[in-house]
Homo-oligomer: A and B are copies of this chain.
């Protein structure tokens, strides 16, 4: 048994939402066809498609986030083409070279808040036509970003327009997209994401599911033959029903957004308390990830009772930590954390 009061380490520390467990139980003995052609996957796809009206997108389910990213990118690019990501992007440095293992270079742009911006992309246009350089063909974003920030509709529209001008694909990693779409200050909808990107994912793992990510392939070129890519990369589950059933439940009555909204709200409780206590943040908090900057001795004290990441050193005496809430985080746990913080 854990010696910690609570883990604020990530949003995948718990199991899954009871609705999913109930559905697994109810369907356990019903026979279904394999490889994603089961009734539940069909129902889940229909539910998701309804949220992206006007697009004849293909919807697939895969097991995890790195797998989702590597399959989409490897499927989209010719061998000499590259994907562009922010320095902090998950595919850059957090996935053990998974993209490079498929043969593609990740071209990096600087960022201060985890977001990619058009002005950082523009210099890459100079690589086009130079046979000594990779040819950028896709831009990779994550929303929420790895720093918990979110894209505004204006920002995403500008990126989308830039990519379309260049003939580049825009791919949005949505491992925490439900948190983004329910974040403070968000003005994007899932329909907007469908309209502005060429492919995007929606995370189940970090949003109340046992495991699994939705892949929405919008651009016709990215849809063609994508099923073969999934099989070839080992990303096609025999019992696709297990993924389909989870997303059927998560998209029933907007459960997935409700869960994300709950996680965001718990984070906000802690954020407001931290602010009141005068602690600054690495980036302004708006979703379920907080990056408060604390004195190191305070961090050491908290670390005796809570599990969390020390994100980065700030100066000799301070560091930023990461606190993450989930669908299962209770208000009680958050208020207790505040009390513990106040009493160190």
Q: CA A210 – CA B28 in complex, angstroms? A: 9
Additional A-B contact list (14), CB under 8 Å, known A13-B32, A15-B242, A80-B231: A15-B24, A18-B28, A64-B237, A65-B238, A67-B234, A67-B235, A79-B102, A94-B133, A95-B234, A97-B104, A131-B236, A210-B210, A210-B242, A234-B234
Give the contacts of A191-228 with B (CB-CB under 8 A): 205-206, 210-211, 225, 227-228
User: Which residues from B are CB-within-8-Å of A225?
Assistant: 78, 80, 135
Total identical chains: 4
| A interface bracket (residues with beta carbon within 8 Å of B) | 35 or more
Is there a chain B Cβ closer than 8 Å to A263's Cβ? Answer: no
A237 partner, pick from B63, B106, B228, beta carbons under 8 A: B63
* 14 pairs, CB–CB < 8 Å, chain A vs chain B: A13-B31, A13-B32, A15-B29, A15-B30, A16-B24, A80-B101, A80-B231, A94-B132, A97-B105, A100-B104, A131-B227, A135-B225, A210-B210, A210-B242
Q: CA A177 – CA B6 in complex, angstroms? A: 40
User: Which residues from B are CB-within-8-Å of A235?
Assistant: 67, 234
The 8 A CB mask of A306-321 against B (1 = contact, 0 = none) is 0100000000000000
Give the contacts of A294-315 with B (CB-CB under 8 A): 307
Q: CA A78 – CA B9 in complex, angstroms? A: 31
User: Majority SS of interface residues in chain A?
Assistant: loop
Give the contacts of A3-53 with B (CB-CB under 8 A): 6-7, 9-10, 12-16, 18, 21, 24-25, 27-35
Is there a chain B Cβ closer than 8 Å to A343's Cβ? Answer: no
Is there a chain B Cβ closer than 8 Å to A96's Cβ? Answer: yes
The smallest C-beta distance from A249 to any residue of chain B, in angstroms, reads 14
